[in-house]
Structure 1
């Protein structure tokens, strides 16, 4: 997410003078600026993240502004990137067509720098608010999924680390889920340790009982007497004819 002070604007215009003037003006406003000479270059740059706003000319070689708008609207990754058309075509029909194709605003050339600056600021502010909203909704989705995982016993606390860093109610709920899960894990570990200790005691008791069953027999007592006799140097009397 970016705001107006740090947003990145892509200037798309085949006229090098226009690109230079727009770059200088936008950079004076504290914006980052990238440029493209036509629609093909523009779409190539937009394929990578980082562009917050597009200033788009219409009449360009290879791929014109109308086609750029159409392709951006057809692409789920790009349809929410705001586009301001800056064109020499100064008529209402052209402006309507561009807006129908997905442009957020339309300014005829030559444009008023003050008006352009205001339109850019408004567009970036709307994008920033939308980014905040989308981020919030995504994190709400993570918390809702975590609720089901907590109930199913499959929740991993680290999956909510990003949400837990928030200082609002959603962050508090995420931290609560994490605390609950960690407490459950701790209880499970203690229970496993107790069960393990109990198994050892059971095994020891079973072994002691088996030993007792053997040592308490007449046969074992007879073996003990014979062993004692041998240790004393005596002879073992065996029964026979």
Structure 2
């Protein structure tokens, strides 16, 4: 894009600076007042066009602005809908065990993913973290839990870190996605400690209070997925049989 913009800018410069001062000197004359005024008008016109070119091509668009534009393109996900690819591909900033790293959700496709929204001022959220951390360990191959702090006017990194420091050492291993707007856009919540459930097939399954994240409900989702997988396997077997007979 930059090469294209440079080429167009060069063409504009050549177009509007036909009678430069150097060219006039080569011709043995200095530009007259009328010619000078004409050149000034050309320069002004060229600057206006170049400004439009920069705005149109987005040469100086910052990475944060691009990310914000990507978020604004998406709306809330409806129950039963497949999640957009940006959710799987985006590298989220994750706070875990006192350290930060980036991680995408794509590696957890095929598992139940639960996102619990919280803030550092929500004492009830913090009290519930040990429970969901224990469930995470109970279903290591079936379940992945993230707490999600979407930030806010009063939220700071220092407050998030302090809140996690109050947890026991084992619960600090519970990963928390921090300072993120995309998840709040996709899953707009009204109450903290709300949990978004994502099924193994990548669809939005439910929005529940954290109290409903329990062994019984997780087992129900797993059982339903096993039934669906059995049906899919039967369909695949029939298709393969029909293909072999042909």
If you compute each CA radius of gyration, which structure gives the higher value, 1 or 2? 1
Asked if Structure 1 and Structure 2 have the same fold, meaning a TM-score greater than 0.5 normalized by the shorter chain, the answer is no
- Tell me which of the two structures has the higher relative contact order, counting C-alpha pairs closer than 8 angstroms and 6 or more residues apart: 2
Select the structure that is richer in helix: 1
